[in-house]
Amino acid sequence: MSRLSEKTPSDKTLSDKTIDKLAAGDLPDSTPSPEFSRDERRILLRIAHEAILCALEQRPAPQTQIFSPALSAPRGVFTTLYLSGERGPELRGCVGYAAAMAPLYRAVAETARAAAFDDSRFLPVTRQEAHRLEVSLSVLSPLFPIHPDAVEVGRHGLVVSQGSRRGLLLPQVPVEHGWDRETFLDQTCRKAGLPLDAWRKAATLEAFTAEVFSDADVEGLG
């Protein structure tokens, strides 16, 4: 998936003890409670749709008043766009920030516009398509170092880097493709333009978790 930014978020937001636990895979087994409420998810999804429509209509985005500290905090986020097709939803664009570069609500607007118009794999979204788009947001945790054996498919996203090359895959990607752990690691290296086995050698391996939600998960977006 395309990335709008390749900066790495600071690990200063995590204590050394927490980072050690994350790197070792010492995480709670229970599914964590959602970080964002239904209303907060609805606001973020609406912001994504409005950002795309405003760009198409060449008008300024409305000034959304954000009272939620969670939506105002800097976070990394990826916006993924889908269009309904004969064989189900088809990818229409995906762009994101791996780093906490801007307040979440603003990062969502920026990555939504970029996913719609700047993903080099696709032509820009048209007016006809805009009203048929389904938006999926993946709000990222800070990156943390991880041992390959601690990577959990479906739980962790991965970043592999070596020199100027860097590749990122979201946690849902290996699940969608039916990959096992090693294939996930290999394919993240491929994303970085590195040999498939770079994760076994000198490449740096980092992980993150993500809270993922989409239009289908939230009622009454209009």
Q: Which amino acid is residue 59, in one-letter code? A: R
Give me the residue label for tokens 């849902």: 172
Is the pLDDT at 86 greater than 80? The verdict is no
Longest dimension (CA), the chain: 51
Q: Which residues of 199-210 are buried (b: 16+ CB within 10 A; e: fewer)?
A: beeebebbbbbb
**Domains of the chain and CATH, by start:** 11-217 (3.30.700.20)
Q: Which amino acid is at 144?
A: F
What is the distance in angstroms between the CA of the first residue and the CA of the last residue of the chain? 28
pLDDT given at position 32: 64
Cα 63 to Cα 47, 52, 57, 72, 106, distances in angstroms: 10, 15, 16, 14, 11
- Taking alpha carbons only, the member of 206, 56, 32 closest to residue 116 is 56
| Runs of H (alpha helix) within the chain | 16-23, 38-57, 69-72, 104-117, 127-130, 172-177, 181-191
Q: For all residues of the chain together, what is the average pLDDT?
A: 85
Q: How far apart are CA 189 and CA 166, in angstroms?
A: 8
pLDDT tens profile 17-41: 443 444 444 444 445 688 999 999 9
Q: Is pLDDT larger for residue 18 or for residue 104?
A: 104
Q: Does this model's pTM top 0.75?
A: yes
Q: Is the pLDDT of residue 100 over 50?
A: yes
pLDDT at residue 217 greater than cutoff 80: yes
Sorted by sequence, the CB contacts under 8 Å of residue 206 that are 6+ apart come out as: 8, 143, 144, 145, 146, 158, 159, 160, 161
50 has a pLDDT exceeding 90: yes
Are residues 43 and 215 in contact, defined by beta-carbon separation less than 8 angstroms? no
pLDDT in tens, 135-169: 999 999 999 999 999 999 999 999 999 999 999 99
- Over residues 166-198, the pLDDT tens digits come to 999 999 999 999 999 999 999 999 999 999 999
Query: Percent of the chain, pLDDT > 70?
Result: 84
Helices (H) and strands (E) in the chain, counts: 7, 8
Scan for tokens 């060449």, then name that residue: 58
